[in-house]
Structure 1
């Protein structure tokens, strides 16, 4: 059985930057260090940070001093304002692509556009972006596009950074008839787009795909869905412990890919685990 790994699988630039910031802060600070929500959507990395003294918090009433790291997904501006009033030191680990989406949301809103965010309403990145559009943006999931949307004079569209290009284009196509003026800002993450393209290419060539990453990771889940959509048997796992011998029976080629929040060591553990079933 041959095992192939997507070359660009794993950490993207934004995630690497966020993790480096967090570990650097943990080394330098003698006081408490927190992240607002999980720094990234990977339980193993979050647990590793906890061992280094970086604790997760989602309730400001539980903290009043120390250093707070803004997660890679960004934060709602009103929450950030409340944090700053507590005079805590703030370290911003927001992904640069998410920053771009936030800035575009504010700009479109200030210019009088009805802002539309294509993505998942319950995702922290989208919730943060909403705040930069005065919480008046519409969130549209490409799987559940409302057919009864009213007509708008001006629509400004941005995307959750980890969305697939096809999903973004699908929604834009639907919105063309809903506005006199439609302005689209491409806020998709280039690394995510490359990983999705490379994953699909490999999935078309192998008997089965293993997708490694947090079950709470939107981009990892999306990779698994893309593989399943083309008919390739696919399993989404967090660690090598979830591998099952029965999956590999009769398989001669297996592909491995991973979300942008998955560390290299987890990917390697999975690859070594698969090889044991040869």
Structure 2
């Protein structure tokens, strides 16, 4: 019997948008007669990106790095100008933007067209947020925390959208701060349901285990937020990208170890982590 048992969160790992993007990229790599590039990493998971590159789907930092063939728009989306430019250059464009991200684009465009000053609750500089800004046009601003609002001029009509992988708490905090400062406030909650489900499931599991493992890219915003949520409830929380990073000393006194994974973590990465944890547990028992 192992020294500890391993329990995986009810909701963990790849979401629909990531699964769709991966399927599109892998199919393109198999079918293409020319070179295939993604515009930036397809998803925020370095291991997956390396695997795609090995199968012929390379990463291009910009369109200037692509001379011909197929370009795939990453799951996070891009500004509209990039898609138009790619088409103008004669490149085949596959749009793997997550459908839920596209909903944010449409919501941002609608609010701006109706005369609202747009505020995006999200992580400045994140590719998804940059894409939303591109669809919102000039005048939109990004905030991640209510503390960023006091120095900002806020008009009578304010509209709010939110990065799909943000927490409900982050959105609520900004909205509460805005409510006292606007004549009209319209909020469109664009947090992805899959994100909320993973966060809720991780929080519930982390509240009752001795140690918690979060699997996914260190550059993944939604995975980092999962780690933060788990660490608030279970101080012995460890964020890894690969099962090889696990250390037996982390679990020396654990009886139950929980595991969750970000929305850009494929099932096989979760399986490898579970197998490695069980091996560690058996070693500690011996």
- Taking structure 1 as the reference length, the TM-score comes to 0.97
- Contact 2:100–2:192 (8 Å) recurs in 1: yes
Q: Cα deviation per residue 1:13-55 (whole Å; 9 max; x = unaligned)?
A: 0000000011111111110111000000011111111111111
Q: For 1:100, which of 96, 99, 103 is the aligned residue?
A: 103
> CA contact under 8 A between 2:36 and 2:56: conserved in structure 1?
yes
What CA distance in whole angstroms lies between the structure 2 residues aligned with 1:70 and 1:122?
Answer: 17
Native 8 Å contact 1:150 1:178 kept in 2: no
The Cα shift of 1:128 comes to 0.5
Once the two structures are superposed, residues 199-240 of structure 1 have per-residue CA deviations (whole angstroms, 9 ceiling, x without a partner) of 000000101110000000000000000111234321100001
Residue 143 of structure 1, CA deviation: 6.9
Whole-Å separation in 1 of the counterparts to 2:155 and 2:149 = 14
Structure 1 partner of 2:277: 274
1:142-161 → structure 2 map (5 Å cutoff): 142=145, 144-161=147-164
What secondary structure sits across from 2:230 in the alignment?
helix
Q: Deviations over 1:54-110 (max 9, x none)?
A: 110012222221111000000011222211210211000000110000111111111
In the TM superposition, what are the counterparts of 1:207-246 in structure 2 within 5 Å?
A: 207-246=210-249
> What whole-Å deviation, never above 9, does each CA across 1:129-188 have from its counterpart, x for those lacking one?
001111421100127533233231111100000001111111111111221110111111
Q: What SS class does the counterpart of residue 152 from structure 1 fall into?
A: coil
- Where 1:161 maps in the other structure, the secondary structure is coil
Structure 1 Cα separation of the partners of residues 122 and 154 of structure 2:
20
1:40-189 alignment runs, 5 A limit:
40-142=43-145, 144-189=147-192
Contact 1:5 1:257 (8 Å CA) reproduced: yes
The 4+ residue runs of structure 1 with deviation greater than 4 A are none
Q: 1:33-44, aligned counterparts within 5 Å? A: 33-44=36-47
**Which residue in 2 is equivalent to 1:197?**
200
Unaligned runs of 5+ in 2: 282-286
RMSD over equivalenced CA pairs, Å: 1.2
CA contact (8 A) 2:36 2:69 kept: yes
Provide the C-alpha distance between the structure 2 equivalents of 1:84 and 1:116, rounded to a whole number of angstroms: 30
Give the alignment partner of residue 25 of structure 1, picking from 28, 40, 44: 28
Counterparts of 2:147 and 2:265, CA distance in 1: 28
User: Hey, what does 2:284 align to over in structure 1?
Assistant: none
Structure 1: 5+ residue stretches without partners = none
Q: How many residues align?
A: 278
Matched, 1:261 2:248: no
